[in-house]
Amino acid sequence: MANAVFPKALEGFIKGAIDVDTAVIKAALVRGYTYTSTHEFVSDVVATGTINGTSAALSSVSVTNGVFDAADTTITASASASNHGLLLFQASAVTGGADVAQSSQRVIAYYDTGTGLPIQPGSGDVSVTWDNGTNKIIKLS
């Protein structure tokens, strides 16, 4: 599998259901999950995989010329299992605020390929360093 933006996320960007600079965006470690292009919500992911830690809201968010970026983040893993991918999702309503139910949290992208992936967390903190090149976290083009 290669890294991918979920097609339903692209639809959400166009329809205004996902807003990365207004809503709360988080990253999570996911194991036992196989990317499926039809998934739309975090509940779809946890139906087949396990979330093993979630970041706080991403900070220093920027959106410029179709490129989404944020400060690097940390996830505290709750188990010593291995082979985790990284799920990016909108945890709140599009306007921000508190986290909503997993059945309403919109998935944005899944990463399982690249430097440090899959993630082998052991137990403890996992530092997530986003790409500092031209693509950043997501580049829509």
Partners of residue 127 on adjacent β-strands: 74
The pLDDT, as a whole number, for residue 1 is 64
Please give the single-letter amino acid code of residue 131.
D
Q: What is the mean pLDDT of residues 71-99?
A: 90
Mean pLDDT of 99-111: 97
| Cα separation, 40 vs 33, whole angstroms | 14
* Mean of per-residue pLDDT scores for the chain: 91
The tens digit of pLDDT for each residue in 89-100 reads 999 999 999 999
The whole-number average pLDDT for the span 1-22 is 93
pLDDT digits (tens, 9 = 90+) for 36-72: 999 999 999 999 998 988 999 999 999 999 999 999 9
Phi then psi dihedrals of residue 26, to 5 deg: -130, 165
